[in-house]
Amino acid sequence: MKFQVEKIREDFPILKEKIYGKDLIYLDNGATTQKPKVVIDKITEHYSKFNANIHRGTHYLSQVSTENYENARKTVQNFINAKNDYEIIFTKGTTDGINLIAYSFGEKFIKENDEIIISAMEHHSNIVPYQVLCQRKKAKLKIIKMDKNGVLILEEMDKLITKNTKLISIIHASNTLGTINPIEKIIKKAHNKNIPVFLDAAQSIQHLEIDVQKLDVDFLVFSGHKIFAPTGIGVLYGKEKFLNKIAPYQSGGDMIKTVTFEKTIYNELPFKFEAGTVNYTGAIAMATAINYIENIGIKNIFNYEKKLLNYATKKLLKIDGLKIYGNSDEKTAVISFNIKNIHHSDIGEILDKLGIAIRTGTHCTEPIMDFFGITGTARASFSFYNTFEEIDKLYEGILKAKKMLS
């Protein structure tokens, strides 16, 4: 399919909105993405025509609802090329999936003095659950360092691995720096030592083609809301051999086979990990979002966003005193920056009045801020519905902010 941004923009109702009387320029896609009309319509259609709780009813609507939900699982399976549909667990989102693994994998496989390796550029969601686990089990968290360009120093990882290393958990693409990590290499190195690898794909799934079998990754998580689907739904992929060995993270309805007051037998995969009424409407709408982006083509999306990134990087670097954090050769379309002697949140506020939505602050990555010795950054994160004209307006807006604040 030919990539036509103007046509694509027509699919996203919110992009027609005015903010303070100005055209919305939405550059906060790292935080959440906007939704195409097909996704919004899918939610309305589900609640208007098919809604009933899944897996529980013999009646018609429950059967349709269940079928649509299980088809959504197959859509996700095909999207990331998982071997089996039951290796796809629906969660609330990335954070939920990480907590599930940190808890359940941790309970089974982590003991005193064991070690877990993460990296210097993790989102808080891929740090804190492991800190909690390490506290619980008296295990140790080790950190792969990065250089000043925001690139991981892989030789560091080699040095960190010991016979006690039980898990490596890595961000695929950094929400703050844009860095795309060399996960193929990381997975190979880890597997050579029989260490499973967990991938936080919250910022890669919407930009890069991901094939979990080709990568041979052991676990992977992402959030629906970052791939043009609703909030409150996400995915945990796990290899069957691990998911079968670990116990449920939450318990209650639907995750059981039989219950007596004396004993409960857990359900099989994937239901064992889906306690209670799951967000089946979200899963169904996420499948629509996946079909939508697959129709455009993830490669087309990546190539277009790369052009946006290159254009924006060159343009913003023309601004005197502007510094970009994250200068890896392999980047998603994210630009974190500061301007000398100006606070990032002041830039964000002025841009907001111009209708330009960017994010300011630490982006849930305080260790990255500590590394660079800063309190935060301004971050513009792009998606395939953004345009070169919007980047020009961002540039003009930053110049205006600079003039006002200097």
**Torsion, Cα of 220, 239, 230, 102 (10° steps):** -60
Strand partners, 171: 200
Within residues 150-189, the interface with ligand PMP by CB under 6 A covers: 171, 175
Tell me which of 43, 364, 374, 405 is the catalytic residue: 364
Within residues 220-259, the interface with ligand PMP by CB under 6 A covers: 223
Residue whose CB is less far from ligand PMP, 34 or 267: 34
158, 152, 112, 129: which is closest to 236 by C-alpha?
Answer: 129
Within residues 191-210, the interface with ligand PMP by CB under 6 A covers: 200, 202-203
The two structure tokens encoding residue 212? 């979990």
Verify binding: residue 331, ligand PMP, rule CB under 6 A. Answer: no
Minimum gap (Å) between residue 252 Cβ and ligand PMP: 21
Residue whose CB is less far from ligand PMP, 197 or 401: 197
Q: Measured between alpha carbons, how far is 375 from 299 in angstroms, rounded to an integer?
A: 35
Contact 254, 235 (CB under 8 A): no
47, 385, 93: which is closest to 230 by C-alpha?
Answer: 93
Q: Measured between alpha carbons, how far is 303 from 84 in angstroms, rounded to an integer?
A: 30
Residue whose CB is less far from ligand PMP, 180 or 284: 180
274, 258, 220: which is closest to 242 by C-alpha?
Answer: 220
DSSP state of 55: S
Minimum gap (Å) between residue 94 Cβ and ligand PMP: 4
Give alpha helix (H) positions in 252-343: 280-296, 298-316
Minimum gap (Å) between residue 203 Cβ and ligand PMP: 5
| Contacting range for ligand PMP; rule: CB under 6 A; set: 120-128, 235-243, 247-255, 295-303 | 120-128
3-state secondary structure 148-177: CCCCECHHHHHHHCCCCEEEEEEECECCCC
Residue whose CB is less far from ligand PMP, 95 or 288: 95
Question: By rule CB under 6 A, what string of x and - marks binding of each residue 34-73 to ligand PMP?
Answer: ----------------------------------------
Pick from 94, 169, 336, 362 the residue near ligand PMP by CB under 6 A. Answer: 94
Q: Is 364 a catalytic residue?
A: yes
Question: By rule CB under 6 A, what string of x and - marks binding of each residue 344-383 to ligand PMP?
Answer: --------------------x-------------------
Pick from 36, 93, 196, 238 the residue near ligand PMP by CB under 6 A. Answer: 93
3-state secondary structure 338-368: EECCECHHHHHHHHHHCCEECEEECCCCHHH
Catalytic residues: 364
Binding site for ligand PMP (CB under 6 A): 93-95, 123, 125-126, 171, 175, 200, 202-203, 223, 364
